[in-house]
A and B are shown apart, each in its own frame.
Chain A
Amino acid sequence: MNKTVNQKAWFLILPVLVLVAFSAVIPIMTVVNYSVQDTFGNNQFFWAGLEWFETMLHSERMWDALGRQLMFSAIILLIQVPLGVFVALNMPKSGFWSSFCLVMMSLPLLIPWNVVGTIWQIFGRVDIGLLGYTLDAMGIEYNYTQSPLAAWITIIVMDVWHWTSLVALLAFAGLKSIPDAYYQAAKIDQASRWAIFRYIELPKMMGVLMIAILLRFMDSFMIYTEPFVVTGGGPGNSTTLLSIDLVKMALGQFDLGPAAAFSLMYYLVILLISWVFYTVMTNMDKKEGK
């Protein structure tokens, strides 16, 4: 067959190019642009090279924020993944109550992030919040505006409340896809409840759990709104996560150069960790396949 050569066909991909340019390339290039320049106002910019990147790499403030961010993501993953799986395992498998649970569990996922923050901000207040007031009345010292520990517990519990359902829903979908015959065979083989989980349910859920872990990692690593609404990064800097710090720097102090360098590094860290996750997971998959 003869292939027709028509260079005008390139125009057909033009819409995609325009779309990607406006949605990704141009915004990122703006940031790149800021990250290599310095300004003293008046819209005058000077070439700064990689200076801002060097500054940020030596900035204790950024390393501290990164440390807090990693701790936050690690804690919520360690809580949400097992808890989500546990919830999914104990949900009714079919019928009215199954749908009911699904709807109830989806509710937190539908609430706008700043509303979630506000809910918990009020809920935890010692003077008028149900949670804060109750704890205080029981003699438990709890004040998220003063105690870093209380602040951390609040934002973690809030995130668990907000997002565990996502893990549970994904795990539930994984569980539902297991044919009945597997459970029947396990009964015939007299497998214990643990063995059923370990050898049937977990392997079959692995695929969706990977997705859940990846999603939860990325989202938690980028989290901004909810902790910002609740604690504003305080008390002190104790709950200043990466994005909160970034916004402070970029919009609060208007340090565009360092903030841009910060953003790019932030972006690369997420990319890197996601890539590591993904590689490890797909490798695990392959190894199992042998």
Chain B
Amino acid sequence: MAKITLDNLAHSYLPNPKGEDDFALKELNHDWADGEAYALLGSSGCGKSTLLNIISGLLHPSQGRILFDGVDVTQASTADRNIAQVFQFPVVYDTMTVRDNLAFPLKNRGASPHYIADRVQQIAKMIGMEAELGNRARGLTADAKQKISLGRGMVREDVNALLFDEPLTVIDPHMKWELRTQLKSLHHEFGHTMIYVTHDQTEALTFADKVVVMYDGRVVQIGTPEELFDKPQHTFVGYFIGSPGMNVIPASVAGSDAVVHGAAVKLGQSFGPLDGKVEIGVRPEFVTLTDGEGVPVKVRRVEDVGRHKIIRADLFGNEINIVAGEGQSISPDMNRVTFDPKRVNVYVNDWLKEGEAAQ
């Protein structure tokens, strides 16, 4: 177990990266605290797997350093780093039995046969495959194979970190839930540093103490699920987290007032003059559809998802989503929206702008 430090880290798959666009992973400084569970969240191709492979040593970064507990391991091999990693698609050794598959990393490390037998039994119990231990791994279903991969990742107790690269993609939903719970309890029990890559926000938010959101090769925000929900640092975080995501609307801001296509919106903070692309972001949960004052919208449709209603509307050509309580009645003359001033964030060039408390 170790604290993992990324120092000025960046990676490009090109031999001679010219500009920032050539980097799959843009410059990054971050400490992964010892024993914490992180989720690395982002859409496909945003550099999550690149970052993971750099940490595990499968990939050497184009620049910067990686330190484990202060020791530079940038050039160290995967074996020296002693890291476990589970991949998106199951990797099993076809010709071995399930038992040998689970024992493989321990055997390679030269553990004693007695310890191996015990440990394999424990892991088999954890992944629910005790009965299949003697079977050959070939011919098992994809999710059984992935359980073996997970088991192989967890079998070593002394690893510095456990990395998961979207490991539950191929697993059916029920088992997904169960395995995620297992991983969490494993984390509580052994306190490994865990990094869990996913593009599924529910998975990220339930698994991790801290969620790291990546966008276009950059870490845009690191925070607790709550922070990500309340104060998205970047419009992408707003879109990506929440269902539906945050509404981002072009606006002009002066003082504690925003103007959206001629309609005034009250803000909870006051701002000085802003340069660049100015937008306001507000979560659908804090938008109210009314027949009184507010910004005019055209309601397109209402979706009842059971717990609440989602209203899809059009605001001067921008799509806007509104979450309304199940009990709230919606009438045809409701064609204005108001925003909860405290919950309206202001973004300049996609990044959150903090103002001063409004008078």
Interface residues of A (CB under 8 A from B): 179, 181-182, 184-185, 187-192, 195, 199-200, 203-204, 288-290
Contact = CB atoms under 8 A, between A and B. Distances in A.
Interface in B67-81: 77-79
Given A192-B108, A203-B94, A289-B136, A185 B78 contact: no
A191 B104 CA distance: 8
Contact of A203 (B88, B91, B95): B95
A188 B84 contact: yes
Contacts of B149: 185
A188 to B, nearest CB: 5
Contact of B139 (A187, A192, A290): A290
A289 B104 contact: no
16 contacts: A179-B89, A181-B91, A184-B53, A184-B87, A185-B85, A188-B83, A188-B105, A189-B104, A189-B105, A190-B79, A190-B105, A191-B108, A200-B93, A203-B95, A204-B94, A289-B139
B293 to A, nearest CB: 57
Nearest to A181: B87
B153 to A, nearest CB: 8
Contacts of B138: 288-289
Most chain A CB within 10 A, of B85, B93, B152, is at B93
A101 B152 CA distance: 37
Contact of A199 (B87, B95, B139): B95
Interface string B104-124: 110011000000000000000
Contacts of B96: 199
B85 A188 contact: yes
Given A184-B53, A190-B79, A203-B95, 16 more contacts: A181-B88, A181-B89, A181-B91, A184-B85, A187-B78, A188-B56, A188-B78, A188-B84, A188-B105, A189-B104, A189-B152, A190-B78, A190-B109, A199-B104, A288-B138, A289-B136
B330 interface: no
Nearest to B106: A189
B58 interface: yes
Contacts of B56: 188
A189 B103 CA distance: 10
A288 B136 contact: yes
A129 B48 CA distance: 62
Contacts of A188: 56, 58, 78, 83-85, 105, 153
A181 B87 CA distance: 7
A185 B87 contact: yes
Contacts of A204: 94
A290 B94 contact: no
Contacts of A190: 78-79, 105, 108-109
Most chain B CB within 10 A, of A187, A188, A195, A199, is at A188
Top 7 A-B pairs, shortest CB-CB distance: A185-B91, A189-B105, A190-B108, A199-B93, A187-B78, A190-B79, A188-B85
Contacts of B94: 199, 203-204, 288
Most chain B CB within 10 A, of A182, A184, A200, A290, is at A184
A276 B284 CA distance: 70
B108 A195 contact: yes
Nearest to B53: A184
Nearest to A185: B91
A246 B91 CA distance: 52
A54 to B, nearest CB: 48
B108 to A, nearest CB: 4
A23 B84 CA distance: 60
B109 to A, nearest CB: 6
A187 B83 CA distance: 10
Contacts of B136: 288-290
Given A192-B108, A290-B139, A187 B93 contact: no
Most chain B CB within 10 A, of A179, A187, A190, A290, is at A190
Nearest to A289: B139
Most chain B CB within 10 A, of A182, A189, A190, A290, is at A189
Contacts of B89: 179, 181
Nearest to A287: B136
